[in-house]
């Protein structure tokens, strides 16, 4: 059985937990936990304000985090805005860019595969501006294809809002090609990268995406921190959403001016410990190598798929997954009943609609169970999951489901 060299870095895995809920949030390695503790125990001071050592060190680490992240996604420094997470990043674009640039008759193009944090802000913008939300028809497998995208985009399309990886199916969307097509129509592309950044190399310059959003907590980092990448000319053109400390350049009695991006978007005291933790998370991903993470996870996923292929009474909704996600139901068993069985065995899966109701409507189901294989999972975890799946099917059958 292949040894897992990374499991020891994740203290939470020292108990009986079999963690397959990494798409909801990832576990945190010791190096991240230590950096967050270091800030809280030894610095715990605000940034950009104090002249004393602790404040200056915190400021230095905060800005070093921006540099690390900018390099990681191949962005310029002023294009990396810290936010509370993907949801905040996507709302920032919708409110700050969308509300000010869309007009009646304009179209926003998205898909039924999106997470609610991509769809709902743009529904709000559509209602406020008179623009219309349109959906790219999905293939039978539930994929966004270039053909369907090309058929759906038109001269009225001003914004395309699309995930890089779906949080229900785990498919990778052909972002680079879609961005090229969207730009021919003069539309900007907002990419939800929440499920991509921890699995695949992201080069925002090569993708040519206009905006790219992601969360720290899904990429080994702390909660409460995320990133909005935006092309600098677009960020320059956007108004801040929040007004207050640190973002103002000059303040008079009746008016004020604001600093340049990214500072104008980071009003008030930011989650400094989480930013510093995110830097450690990116360093961990870089040191481990996204390719190694991908290769190990793929081998383990293939092992899982091979082990479950003959099990009847499981319905899988994604036949394959680029990011090792498996979404399924036990036949005739509501997902919330099934999840209780797995939880008792300390298997962490997720039940429900995963904040993506429209794809469940598309699949004709109310809810599903979702698991993800990530690089800290072991072959023993997968064996135990498969054993438990078989037991669960039997258990619910005996109960008459």
Ligand X SMILES: Cc1ncc(COP(=O)(O)O)c(C=O)c1O
Can you give the binding site for ligand X, defined by CB under 6 A?
A: 85-87, 115, 117, 163, 167, 192, 194-195, 215, 355
Checking DSSP bridges between strand 325-330 and strand 368-372, what pairing results, if any? Answer: antiparallel
- Cβ-contact 26, 218 below 8 angstroms: yes
Task: Compare residues 197 and 238 and give the one whose CB is closer to ligand X.
Answer: 197
Give residue for tokens 């009003």. 267
Task: Compare residues 94 and 389 and give the one whose CB is closer to ligand X.
Answer: 94
Radius of gyration of the chain (CA): 22
Of residues 99, 241, 314, 355, which has the active-site annotation? Answer: 355
Report in angstroms how near the CB of residue 282 gets to ligand X at its nearest. 16
As a whole number of angstroms, the distance between CA 345 and CA 243 comes to 48
As a whole number of angstroms, the distance between CA 311 and CA 300 comes to 18
Report in angstroms how near the CB of residue 38 gets to ligand X at its nearest. 24
* Active-site residue flag, 355: yes
Nearest to 29 by CA among 372, 223, 287, 284: 284
Task: Compare residues 65 and 389 and give the one whose CB is closer to ligand X.
Answer: 65
As a whole number of angstroms, the distance between CA 51 and CA 191 comes to 39
- What count of Cα atoms within 13 Å lies in the side-chain half-sphere of residue 206? 7
* Cα separations in angstroms, 75 against 252, 350, 392: 34, 33, 47
Report in angstroms how near the CB of residue 115 gets to ligand X at its nearest. 3
Task: Compare residues 221 and 240 and give the one whose CB is closer to ligand X.
Answer: 221
Q: Which residues contact 38 (CB under 8 A, 6 or more apart)?
A: 276
Task: Compare residues 355 and 365 and give the one whose CB is closer to ligand X.
Answer: 355
As a whole number of angstroms, the distance between CA 237 and CA 241 comes to 13
Task: Compare residues 59 and 86 and give the one whose CB is closer to ligand X.
Answer: 86
Q: What DSSP character marks residue 24?
A: T
Report in angstroms how near the CB of residue 86 gets to ligand X at its nearest. 4
Burial 79-91 (b: 16+ CB within 10 A, else e): bbbbbbbbbbbbb
Report in angstroms how near the CB of residue 204 gets to ligand X at its nearest. 17
Report in angstroms how near the CB of residue 23 gets to ligand X at its nearest. 6
As a whole number of angstroms, the distance between CA 317 and CA 48 comes to 49
Task: Compare residues 181 and 355 and give the one whose CB is closer to ligand X.
Answer: 355
Report in angstroms how near the CB of residue 270 gets to ligand X at its nearest. 16
* Cα separations in angstroms, 274 against 9, 131, 196, 271: 19, 36, 20, 5
The residues that are catalytic are 355
């Amino acid at each position: 059985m292949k040894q897992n060299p990374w499991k020891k870095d994740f203290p939470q895995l020292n108990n009986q937990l079999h963690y397959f809920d990494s798409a909801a949030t990832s576990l945190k390695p010791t190096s991240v936990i230590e950096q967050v503790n270091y800030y809280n125990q030894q610095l715990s001071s605000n940034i950009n304000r104090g002249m004393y050592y602790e404040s200056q060190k915190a400021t230095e680490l905060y800005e070093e985090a921006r540099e690390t992240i900018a390099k990681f996604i191949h962005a310029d420094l002023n294009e990396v805005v810290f936010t509370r997470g993907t949801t905040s990043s996507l709302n920032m674009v919708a409110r700050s860019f969308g509300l000010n640039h869309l007009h009646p008759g304009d179209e926003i193009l998205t898909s039924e595969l999106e997470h609610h944090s991509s769809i709902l802000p743009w529904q709000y913008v559509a209602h406020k501006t008179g623009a219309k939300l349109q959906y790219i028809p999905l293939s039978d497998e539930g994929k966004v294809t270039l053909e369907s995208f090309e058929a759906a985009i038109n001269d009225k399309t001003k914004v395309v809002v699309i995930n890089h990886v779906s949080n229900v199916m785990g498919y990778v969307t052909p972002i680079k090609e879609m961005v090229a097509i969207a730009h021919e129509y003069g539309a900007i592309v907002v990419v939800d990268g929440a499920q991509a950044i921890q699995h695949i190399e992201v080069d925002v310059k090569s993708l040519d995406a206009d905006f790219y959003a992601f969360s720290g907590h899904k990429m080994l980092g702390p909660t409460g921190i995320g990133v909005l990448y935006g092309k600098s000319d677009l960020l320059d053109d956007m108004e801040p959403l929040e007004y207050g400390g640190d973002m103002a350049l000059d303040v008079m009695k009746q008016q004020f001016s604001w600093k340049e991006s990214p500072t104008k978007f980071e009003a008030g005291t930011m989650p400094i410990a989480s930013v510093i933790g995110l830097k450690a998370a990116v360093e961990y991903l870089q040191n481990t190598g996204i390719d190694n993470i991908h290769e190990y996870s793929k081998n383990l996923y293939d092992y899982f798929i091979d082990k479950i292929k003959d099990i009847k009474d499981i319905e899988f909704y994604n036949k394959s997954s680029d990011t090792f996600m498996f979404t399924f139901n036990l036949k005739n068993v509501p997902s919330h009943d099934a999840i209780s069985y797995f939880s008792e065995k300390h298997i962490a899966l997720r039940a429900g609609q995963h904040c993506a109701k429209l794809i469940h409507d598309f699949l004709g189901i109310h809810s599903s169970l979702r698991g993800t294989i990530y690089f800290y999972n072991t072959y023993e975890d997968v064996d135990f999951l498969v054993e438990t799946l078989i037991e669960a099917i039997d258990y619910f059958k005996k109960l008459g489901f």
